[in-house]
Amino acid sequence: MDHGRMAGWFAGPKAENGEWFGNIVSNILVDYYAWRKNYFPEDTVIVRSKERRGAESFRDDFEDKLMELLSRLKADYPFQSPRYAAHMVAEQALPAIAGYFAAMLYNTNNVSNDAAPVTVKLELEACRLISHMLGYGEGNWSHLTSGGTIANLEALWVARTVKYLPLVTRDMRDHLSLPTIEGSTESLLLASPMKALDDFVACFEEIGDSGRAIAAYLGSPHNVAVVGAGAIERQLGRHPILIVPETAHYCFDKAIDLLGIGRASLRKVPVDSNFRMRVDALEQQLCEADTRNEDVIAVVAVVGTTEEGGVDPVDQILELRDNREASGKSSFWIHADAAYGGYLRTLTTPTRMGLGHPTSMVKVGGQIREISLSLPERGACNALERLGECDSITIDPHKLGYVPYPAGAIAFKTNLVKPIARQSAPYIEEAPGGVDAECGSEAIGVYILEGSKPGAAAAAVWLSHTLIPLDTSGHGKLVQQTVRNACELQALLENYPEWTGLDGVSAVCLCPPGSNIVCYAFRPAVATTLSELNDFNRRIYEKFSGSESLNRRVYDQQFFVSRTTLSPRQYRIEGVAPFLARLGVSPEEFEQQGVFLLRSVLMNPWYDAAKQKGKYYLSELVGKLFEEAHQQATSL
C-alpha cells in the first residue's frame, strides 16, 4: 500500500499531522469569523469593548470549565491507536473532520434548501458518490441519516408501502375510471417491487392530473401508510412478515415494532458456519410463507455483520428472486444492511483488486516470520459486485467511511420511491407535484423520517469522499489492508502456541474473517465447563477493556479488545456446531448459556505502516493476550 499517500488522510497515531491540521482548523475559524464581519459591515457593533470587559468573569469560568472538560476527555479510549482493536471506530479522515468542523459553525439543518442552501447540495453530491460506489446508476435516491438504524427503518418503511402498492394502484385506476387491472388480490401481491412502482407511476401519466391521482392514492383502502398495517391485515386475511438472517442487527426488532407489524412477524434464516445466510433455508421460508398467506415485506441481506463481519450471499439471493419470479411465485423487496460492510465494495470498483498475497510478516518470540493468511473467499466479492441490484442499501460513513458521527445513509435503487414517502411540510417545501416533479426534486426533508439533521455531516462526507476516491485507487486500498490485518490476527491467534512452544492455552477463532472482524475464545488445556470457560474469557476481556472496575487509567492500558456473546437465542445449533466442536463445548452446554467471545475490529489504518518502522502491533497484542490467558489459567 502507498503509505506516503495515506499519511495525509489521517492525523496519525501520534498526531504526526497535528500541527499542520491545527493550522487548517485555525484558518477555518478565521475564515468563518471574517464571513460574519463582512455581512453588512456597516451594521453597528453590538457587543462593545466595555461589555466584553464586563464578561471577563464568565470568560474565566468558561476557561476553567473547558479545562475540566478537556481533562475529563483524556479518559476516553485511544481510537486512533493501533493498540485499539475493540469496537467499530478508529481514526477519522482529516478531510471529514475539517468538513464537519467548518460546516458545524454555520449550524445548518439539512432538511430543506431554505434552512441549508449549501449543505443540502453537498449532501446530494456526496450521496451520488456513495450510491455510485454501491453500484446504483442514474435515477437512484439516497440521502444521509443519523445512522444505520434510521436508514434500515426507512428502507422497511418504504418496502412495506411498496408491497401493497399493486392493490393501491388497482383502487386508484378504478376511482379514476382508468382501465382496470386484471387479476386477484393474491396474484397482484406477487409483483416485483419495480413492477409495483412502474404500475403506480403509470396512473399519474395516464390521468395527467396529479391532484386527482394524489387524492385517489391517499383514499385507497389499501394504502398502508394511511390506514395502517392492522387494517390491511384484517381486510386481506394475510399477515406481513420480515425475513432476516440470524446475524441481523437488533434494530430490525425495533423497526418491525415501529412499523406496527409486530416482533412476532420477524422470521430469522439460519446461517452457515461462516455466519452467512443460508439461501436454501431462505427459499424454504419463502415457500412456507406462500402456503401461510404471509406477505414478505422484505428480505434483508447483511453485508458486514456486526458481530462477525460476514457478508451474506447477495448474488444468490438475487438469483433466488429471479427464479421465483420466472416460476410465477411471489417476488420480494431485497434490502442490504451494509451499514458496516458497504465500503468493502471499494475493493471491487471499477474492477476487483483482490486482497493481495496470501502471506504476511509477523514478529513472534523476537523472530520475524512469514505466515499464511486465510483470506476471505471470492464469494464475498461476488456478493459485493451485485449489491447495486438490491432495492435499497444502508451504509454508514461513520464506520468504515472514517467520517465523524453522526453519518449514516440510505440508498434506493430508484427515485420512484420518493412520491410514496413524501410527507406534507408546507413550511419547508411547496405542495406535492406529479411523479416527475417529485422524482426530480432536490428537496430532502419531505421524503425522510428525520426532521432535523446536521449539515455538518454532509460537508464531512462530501469533503472526505471527494478527496479519497471510493474505488480501488483510494478507499479500496485502505479497506483491503484492514481485511488483511484481520486475517493476520486470526493466524497469530491460532498458531501462536505452536510458534512459541508454549502450551497450556489455545485460542479458537469463531470462523475465518469475512471482512475485518475476528471473534475468538481462549481455552485452557485443563478440562473445564462452559461456565468456567466463559468466566475465564471474561476475566481476560476485563484486562483489555479499560474496565472501570479495575480502576486503571487509559494511559496504563496497553491494548483494547471488545466482547460479544454467541447466544442460543440468536443462533441455531447447526451453524455454530463446528465452532463448538473446536472449542470443546457440547451443544447442550451452549443451549443453556451461550459462549462469551472476545472480539477485535481491525479498522485502524496504521498496522502495515508500523511494521515498516519495526513495530508489530498485532503480534504484540496476541502475545499480551496469551500472557494474560496463561496467568488466568494458573488460577483454575
**In this structure, are 424 and 278 located in the same domain?**
yes
pLDDT recorded at residue 426: 45
**In this structure, are 334 and 205 located in the same domain?**
yes
Q: Which residues pair with 523 in a beta bridge?
A: 506
pLDDT recorded at residue 617: 97
Q: Is a pLDDT exceeding 60 seen at residue 297?
A: yes
CA 375 → CA 92, 372, 386, 436, distances in Å?
A: 26, 9, 20, 46
Q: Is 372 exposed, middle or buried (0-12, 13-18, 19+ CB in 10 A)?
A: exposed
**In this structure, are 226 and 161 located in the same domain?**
yes
pLDDT recorded at residue 547: 63
Q: State what percent of residues in the chain have pLDDT above 70.
A: 97
- Helix 119-134 and helix 94-106: axis angle, to 10°? 150
pLDDT recorded at residue 406: 95
Q: Is 579 a member of any domain?
A: yes
Q: Is a pLDDT exceeding 50 seen at residue 272?
A: yes
Counting the structural domains of the chain, the total is 2
Q: Is a pLDDT exceeding 60 seen at residue 284?
A: yes
**In this structure, are 183 and 311 located in the same domain?**
yes
pLDDT recorded at residue 165: 96
Q: Is 157 a member of any domain?
A: yes
**In this structure, are 425 and 490 located in the same domain?**
no
Q: How confident is the model at residue 546 (pLDDT cuts 50, 70, 90)?
A: confident
In the predicted model, what is the mean pLDDT of residues 230-237?
92
Q: Is 97 a member of any domain?
A: no
Q: Is 136 exposed, middle or buried (0-12, 13-18, 19+ CB in 10 A)?
A: buried
Bridge-based pairing of strands 367-372 and 359-364 is: antiparallel
What digits encode the pLDDT tens for the residues 62-93?
A: 999 999 999 999 999 999 999 999 999 999 99
- Lowest-confidence region among 314-328, 364-378, 559-573: 364-378
**In this structure, are 501 and 439 located in the same domain?**
no
Q: Is 309 a member of any domain?
A: yes
CATH code assigned at 212: 3.40.640.10
Where does residue 546 fall: left (phi above 0), alpha (psi -120 to 50 degrees), or beta otherwise?
Answer: left
Q: Is 280 a member of any domain?
A: yes
pLDDT recorded at residue 430: 57
In the predicted model, what is the mean pLDDT of residues 136-151?
96
What digits encode the pLDDT tens for the residues 207-224?
A: 888 888 889 999 999 999
Q: How confident is the model at residue 549 (pLDDT cuts 50, 70, 90)?
A: low
In the predicted model, what is the mean pLDDT of residues 264-282?
96
pLDDT recorded at residue 428: 44
**In this structure, are 450 and 324 located in the same domain?**
yes
**In this structure, are 190 and 263 located in the same domain?**
yes
Q: Whole-prediction pTM value? A: 0.95
Q: Is 257 a member of any domain?
A: yes
Q: Is a pLDDT exceeding 90 seen at residue 377?
A: no
How confident is the prediction for the chain on average, in pLDDT?
A: 93
What digits encode the pLDDT tens for the residues 604-619?
A: 999 999 999 999 999 9
Q: Is 430 a member of any domain?
A: yes
Structural domain for 578, as ranges: 477-633
Q: Of 390, 422, 456, which marks where a domain is finished?
A: 456
> What count of other Cβ atoms lies within 10 Å of the Cβ of residue 297?
27
What digits encode the pLDDT tens for the residues 4-21?
A: 678 899 999 999 999 999
Q: Is a pLDDT exceeding 80 seen at residue 561?
A: yes
**In this structure, are 493 and 397 located in the same domain?**
no
Q: Up-side HSE of residue 287: CA atoms within 13 Å toward CB?
A: 9
pLDDT recorded at residue 427: 43
